[in-house]
Amino acid sequence: MTFADFGFDQKLNDGLDSMGYEKPTPIQEQAIPVILQNQDVIACAQTGTGKTAAYILPVINKMIHTDHRHLNTLIIAPTRELAQQIDQQIEGFAYFTGISSIPIYGGGDGAAWDQQKRALEQGADIIVATPGRLIALLAAGTTVFDHLQHLILDEADRMLDMGFYDDIVKIVSYLPKDRQTLLFSATMPPKIRALANKILNQPVEINIAIAKPAEGITQEAYVVYDEQKGGLLNHVLKTHRWSSIILFASTKETVKKLDAAFRRSNIPARAFHSDLEQTEREEILRAFRNKQINLIIGTDVLSRGIDVEGISMVINWDVPPDPEDYVHRIGRTARAETTGTAITFVNERDQRRFQSIENLIGYPIPKMPLPAELGKGPVYAPQTKRNENFRKKGRGPSRKRFRPRSNR
Ligand code: AMP
């Protein structure tokens, strides 16, 4: 599936392009068509799955085709940080549409309060609010919801954990009954069900179940320039104890390049990708199971469902585009309650993706120091755009050809 399948307005597609999104995530594939059809939704999805775009994109698309002079959409989120992040994403997607959004959250001085009050009264198209500040503004007599069409609750379970149940019910009492309501939550405890029964109308349920990495997997990451990856791979192969390895790369071109490099080494390795015939794939897996080869280099074709026992290490030459693929990739090791190691090489461009993985699994993955002979790597700073532009400017160490070496 691609974003073109949703039939979005060109102005929104331009925004999507500028954000660099290429392919919808599973929650986006499932939620967007339902939201476009004006149905209520209750979705179980965690941070890192792409849930924010799953509700923002269809809502913006609908808004492009309506008279947008009134407050159309209210998004409620538990914290100021999340409200800001959502607001920034809206700004990116809506850049070419003329649709505006404002964040409303506590803190700040009297001027911030006045500004938010004015913004509420004069109307932005979308408001992203934390419950406490919104209640305070409503109590001060600001009601602006006559034309509201969408209510979205993001991270609803966290809002209830923070004690916002009554505030949310109160806010909803100010809203028109004839509206579309979307509830997103990482978990579905009974109190979320109770809230959903109260405020949703025959919702479609969407559940994006995420497998967490098994506990026996030791996860490590190295923050590197592309040019350092070959040397780093040699270092990892030399310094870790391993019996069999899967080396993952995101494209078959990279897999083929790595395969060619291994052919010049004394490590028996084979490439596994979608260009191979089924019989060839089976033959490679058989040889791997029988330990005739110790290393497979593969794309994500290998990351799902292939059951080979006793893989001691997974190395990610790059960060997979879809955070869930990371969990699938590293799940090839430490099967059946054994232990294993998963090592990921993260270049500057992949840092944001890597952070999405950390968000998805719910903890940071340790960043290991580079071996001294490779020199300094990039700084891990996934929030900055600078890192993504860095390579394009052609900085960083000079390119060296990778030759695998083994001391085994
Ligand atoms: P969320 O789960 O909404 O917090 O999103 C997690 C991260 O994934 C954010 O940095 C988004 O910008 C990014 N993201 C969401 N959807 C996509 C997509 N279809 N393609 C690439 N990145 C995405």
Span 279-306, average pLDDT: 84
Q: Are residues 237 and 202 part of one domain?
A: no
Lowest mean pLDDT among 246-260, 305-319, 346-360, 394-408: 394-408
Q: Are residues 325 and 296 in the same domain?
A: yes
Distances (CA, A) of 398 to 125, 271, 384, 401: 49, 27, 23, 10
Cβ 47 under 6 angstroms from ligand 1: yes
The rounded distance, in Å, linking the Cα atoms of 374 and 382 is: 22
pLDDT class for 116, splitting at 50, 70, 90?
confident
134 alpha carbon to ligand 1 midpoint, in Å?
A: 27
Range of the domain at 172: 3-207
390 lines ligand 1 (CB under 6 A): no
Shared domain check, 237 and 201: no
Say if 383 falls within a structural domain. Answer: no
Residue 315 in domain: yes
In a domain, 92, yes or no: yes
Return the top range by mean pLDDT from 56-60, 277-281, 297-301: 56-60
Q: In whole numbers, what is the pLDDT of the chain averaged over residues?
A: 87
Q: Are residues 24 and 164 in the same domain?
A: yes
Evaluate whether residue 402 is within a structural domain. no
Select the more confidently predicted residue: 74 or 331: 74
Q: Is residue 247 part of a domain?
A: yes
pLDDT above 60 (res 268): yes
Output the CA 54–ligand 1 centroid distance in Å.
9
Mutate to test the pocket of ligand 1, among 57, 326, 356 (most ligand atoms within 8 A of CB): 356
Is the domain of 183 the same as that of 310?
no
Lowest mean pLDDT among 48-57, 101-110, 292-301: 101-110
Report whether residue 347 contacts ligand 1, using a CB cutoff of 6 Å: no
pLDDT bucket at 312, cuts 50 / 70 / 90: confident
Pocket test for ligand 1, best of 25, 128, 322 (most atoms within 8 A of CB): 25
Binned at pLDDT 50, 70 and 90, residue 307 comes out as low
In the reported structure, the alpha carbon of residue 384 is separated from the centroid of ligand 1 by a whole-number distance in angstroms of 15
Q: Residue 157 domain-assigned?
A: yes
Q: Which two tokens stand for residue 97?
A: 């549409």
The enclosing domain of 264 has a CATH number of: 3.40.50.300
| Domain end among 178, 207, 236 | 207
55-67 burial, b if ≥16 CB within 10 A, otherwise e? bbbbbbbbbbeee
Output the pLDDT for position 251.
92
Residue finishing a domain among 182, 207, 232: 207
Q: Which residue is closest in CA terms to ligand 1's atom 8?
A: 50
Please give the tally of structural domains in the chain.
2
Q: How far is the CA of 57 from the centre of ligand 1 (A)?
A: 12
**Predicted pLDDT of residue 395:** 38
The better pLDDT of the pair 371, 68 is held by 371
| Residue 49 CB–ligand 1 contact under 6 Å | yes
What count of residues does the chain have?
Answer: 408
Percentage of the residues of the chain whose pLDDT score is greater than 70: 90
Q: How many CA atoms lie within 13 A of 19 on its CB side?
A: 23
**Pocket of ligand 1 contains residue 52 by CB under 6 Å:** yes
Same domain, residue pair 318 and 223: yes
pLDDT at 403: 65
273 lines ligand 1 (CB under 6 A): no
Q: Which of 158, 183, 207 is the last residue of a domain?
A: 207
Instruction: Decide: 320 in ligand 1 pocket, CB within 6 A.
Output: no
24 lines ligand 1 (CB under 6 A): yes
DSSP 57: H
Question: Count of CB atoms within 10 A of residue 385's CB?
Answer: 8
Residues 283 and 358 in one domain: yes
Q: Which of 13, 29, 52 to mutate to test the pocket of ligand 1 (most atoms within 8 A of CB)?
A: 52
The predicted pLDDT at position 399 comes to 43
How does residue 396 score in pLDDT terms, banded at 50, 70 and 90? very low
Residues 63, 187, single domain; the answer is yes
pLDDT band at 398 (very low <50, low <70, confident <90, very high): very low
The answer to whether residue 404 is domain-embedded is no
pTM more than 0.85: no
Among 71-75, 273-277, 372-376, the minimum mean pLDDT is found in 273-277
Compute the average pLDDT of residues 167-185: 96
Q: Which residue has the tokens 């109308």?
A: 201
What's residue 36's pLDDT? Answer: 97
Look at residue 392 and tell me whether its pLDDT is greater than 50: no
Query: Same domain, yes or no, for 245 and 354?
Result: yes
Task: Please tell me the predicted confidence (pLDDT) of residue 161.
Answer: 86
DSSP string of 236-303, one letter each residue: HHHHS--S-EEEE-SSHHHHHHHHHHHHTSSS-EEEE-TTS-HHHHHHHHHHHHTTS-SEEEE-GGGT
| 343 in the same domain as 197 | no
Out of 120-124, 165-169, 207-211, 264-268, give the one with best mean pLDDT: 165-169
Whether 239 and 369 map to the same domain: the answer is yes
Q: What is the predicted pLDDT for the residue at 408?
A: 43
Question: Quick one: pLDDT band at residue 393, thresholds 50, 70, 90?
Answer: very low
Position 285 scores a pLDDT of 86
Domain annotation covers residue 94: yes
Closest ligand 1 atom, residue 22 Cα: 20
% of the chain beyond a pLDDT of 90: 55
Q: How confident is the model at residue 388 (pLDDT cuts 50, 70, 90)?
A: very low
* E strand or H helix at 332: none
Alpha carbon distances (Å) from 26 to 2, 22, 23, 302: 11, 13, 10, 19
List the residue whose alpha carbon is closest to atom 15 of ligand 1.
50
For the CA atoms of 157, 161, 163, 169, the dihedral, rounded to the nearest 10 degrees, stands at: 20
Query: Ligand 1 within 6 A of 51 CB?
Result: yes
Decide if pLDDT at 148 tops 90: yes
Q: Of ligand 1's atoms, which has the minimum distance to the CA of residue 360?
A: 2
Both tokens of residue 368?
Answer: 């290991």
Q: Please tell me whether residues 308 and 349 are part of one structural domain.
A: yes
pLDDT-derived band at 390 (thresholds 50, 70, 90) equals: very low
CB 103 within 8 A of CB 83: yes
User: What backbone phi and psi angles, to 5 degrees, belong to 88?
Assistant: -65, -40
Nearest atom within ligand 1 for CA of residue 23: 19
- List the residue whose alpha carbon is closest to atom 21 of ligand 1: 21
